[in-house]
Structure 1
């Protein structure tokens, strides 16, 4: 293993992989799925979750096992540090995360394209077209991902800046103190998903030669850029779209329809330039995440399959056919998939398990062990919230009557 410290340029391009993995479906879903809780609660909860998720990412990245086992991915890692139960729990959670995210990206792009271009091409047709292009990029591995990601991120930032510039004239007066903390509870799983980048950590560590300083800087820089863009976009959407409106162009209507934030924005800002930019931003944002997630899924399946993982065509079909099949059958699964990913997958694998690592590695009464228990408790709450919502035990919906009293123009 080379001991040469990676260059600053390599660290920055690797950090952009973290950003690209974060800024995908989550940035488009967060204003819709968290919006009805209110602006201030949404912003504060987002900052807190970013700090927590970045910390759990650093916990995993700093484990000596990844440095000592160059080809290991997350299942092997968790088996080594937690035992067989750690491996199979991580396998189950990772399957939920990776397949769920790929499905959400496909469904999200299809819904944006179908709502923007009309019914000339059915939603499943857009999904298949996007699947072919994005999967081709993901199939070439981490080398192409790192080289192409900087270009994709540059295009995404330009489109992002253009969208912000065009929505500014449509900003409305907003009651910053208005909030529905009960609804914030239901948004916890989507918050976890929005700040997830952890599947690329093994690839990131290998790319940076397991240099601890470079890895730490790449994670903070990459997640920080992603969090900044997510917060900026969330605030912009929430001060542009009404929370509730008679014509149905609102955050609450988008939440009920399960569509990304760009869909109601296109209906509000009837500009060809805005529609084109919003489509481009949605596609590029989800493509950066789709390719990173696809690369992570291929590595994950090879790690789980052992010797059978050398059968690359079989691994490819196992990786990409399930999400495209689910997306075609359930085209409105975008928000649903992201909630399941956050509640059952990310919260378990990248929240509770890092907490268990700290508990095992910390001495009795140590700060490390107390932090571990805190992480387990926080993400157990996320899991319980999603479980209760999926089973119908917890039904939290936007308070339309409350927000009707806080309508500003």
Structure 2
């Protein structure tokens, strides 16, 4: 790597790769979850969640650099080094929750979008199986082909996002951005954390940058900043376009576990928006599915090797895709629920609590970093506790909008000629 290329070109390339990895199912669910808390509360939560994920990304990038002499770097081994076997198996369990949960969300979310595209209101098993089969096949193809396909997908996502925000922004009702429900805000944090999650590719990114920590920091800062602007813009457009209650509303989409692009297309009643939004959603899901599908296959293979079991490719493929596939078949309305579990339990543990913990255990670090780690630990721990309490029924966070009379105009615009 030449010095001039290191200074800006490789940083820009890497930042775009990080941003592309961040555009996935999280962005599709953001306007629905965050809309029930309101734009301004959600904006504050996005700043806090993004800052936490940025801080832990730098921690983990530094750990990759410090362990560069190892034959391979993986998070279970890193946490075993600090916390023993408990840390290792907590990391393994959290990673399984993340990867299986994301694949389940991609299966169900993509099926919802496809059903809407072809005008099917009810669940259609043959359509779902065709879509799931397509995702599995392209994930199992040669890795170089996947990388080329992913590049094309990311270029399309950027163009489609620009079109969607341009069309949608002209229909935003500013009054809808003024709604606030601070009590429901904790329920938005898991999906916000998911929307800023790219940490599984940090070892690859640092290695590509030849273990240049400064270049890694600049790449992460730029990549996450771009993702933050996209997330914030998309949330503002989604909340500004969709009514809070009633038919085809944020509340109805939340209760039905539907990606934001589906109700937005119906509300705007624009053929162009609906087509581009549907394609954007499908491509975003495909992009993330490819990355996480390959990651899960490698993770399963490593687990089998570690247990001395045989690793024939058909077995690895079956163990990778069968659990999320069958979960999606039996629970087709689990899209947003899966994202909440992924963010509020898996990501917040593996990439929030544990990185903060190893930072606090490092006696060579300064007081400022220790304080930041303590705040991160408190924030991440709170998210985990709230999510677990919701999952076991000890806490029920409900949006107050259900009990409020909303005066927003919910009449869809007439189709354009």
Instruction: State the TM-score, normalized to the length of structure 2.
Output: 0.89
Q: 8 Å contact 2:176–2:239 — kept in the other structure?
A: no
- For residues 330 and 160 of structure 2, what CA distance do their matches in structure 1 show? 31
Residue deviations 1:137-188 (CA, integer Å, cap 9, x gap): 3334764454433321110111111112222332213254431100111212
- For residues 310 and 148 of structure 2, what CA distance do their matches in structure 1 show? 25
1:20 offset after TM fit, Å? 2.4
Distance 1:291 1:364, change over 3 A: closer
Partner residue in 1 for 2:360 = 359
Partner residue in 1 for 2:237 = 236
Q: Which secondary structure state, in structure 2, belongs to the residue aligned with residue 395 of structure 1?
A: coil
Residue deviations 1:320-363 (CA, integer Å, cap 9, x gap): 22111211121111011011111110111100001101111135
Partner residue in 2 for 1:378 = 379
1:256 offset after TM fit, Å? 1.1
2:44 maps to 1:36: no
- For residues 86 and 125 of structure 2, what CA distance do their matches in structure 1 show? 38
- For residues 50 and 222 of structure 1, what CA distance do their matches in structure 2 show? 11
RMSD across aligned positions (CA): 2.5
Alignment of 1:176-195 (within 5 A): 176-195=177-196
Partner residue in 2 for 1:297 = 296
Q: 8 Å contact 1:72–1:303 — kept in the other structure?
A: no
1:84 offset after TM fit, Å? 1.3
Partner residue in 2 for 1:221 = 222
1:5 offset after TM fit, Å? 9.4
Alignment of 1:273-292 (within 5 A): 273-292=272-291
Residue deviations 1:183-235 (CA, integer Å, cap 9, x gap): 11121212211211111112222333322233223322222222221111111
1:393 offset after TM fit, Å? 1.6
Distance 1:12 1:126, change over 3 A: farther
- For residues 175 and 265 of structure 1, what CA distance do their matches in structure 2 show? 14
Q: Which secondary structure state, in structure 2, belongs to the residue aligned with residue 331 of structure 1?
A: coil
Distance 1:222 1:309, change over 3 A: farther
1:32 offset after TM fit, Å? 0.3
1:120 offset after TM fit, Å? 9.4
How many residues are matched? 406
- For residues 242 and 281 of structure 1, what CA distance do their matches in structure 2 show? 22
1:102 offset after TM fit, Å? 0.8
Alignment of 1:172-211 (within 5 A): 172-174=173-175, 176-211=177-212
> Which stretch shows the higher mean deviation, 169-178 or 78-87?
169-178
Q: Which secondary structure state, in structure 2, belongs to the residue aligned with residue 244 of structure 1?
A: coil
Distance 1:377 1:356, change over 3 A: same
Partner residue in 2 for 1:259 = 258
- For residues 131 and 46 of structure 1, what CA distance do their matches in structure 2 show? 31
1:33 offset after TM fit, Å? 0.8
In the TM superposition, structure 1's runs of 4+ consecutive aligned residues that sit over 6 Å from their partners are 2-6
Q: 8 Å contact 1:192–1:347 — kept in the other structure?
A: yes
Distance 1:18 1:137, change over 3 A: farther
Alignment of 1:298-337 (within 5 A): 298-305=297-304, 306=306, 308=309, 311-337=312-338
Partner residue in 2 for 1:73 = 74
- For residues 288 and 16 of structure 1, what CA distance do their matches in structure 2 show? 14
- For residues 281 and 17 of structure 2, what CA distance do their matches in structure 1 show? 17
Partner residue in 2 for 1:105 = 106
Q: 8 Å contact 1:127–1:327 — kept in the other structure?
A: no
Q: 8 Å contact 1:33–1:190 — kept in the other structure?
A: yes
Distance 1:145 1:3, change over 3 A: farther
1:10 offset after TM fit, Å? 4.8
- For residues 175 and 260 of structure 1, what CA distance do their matches in structure 2 show? 19
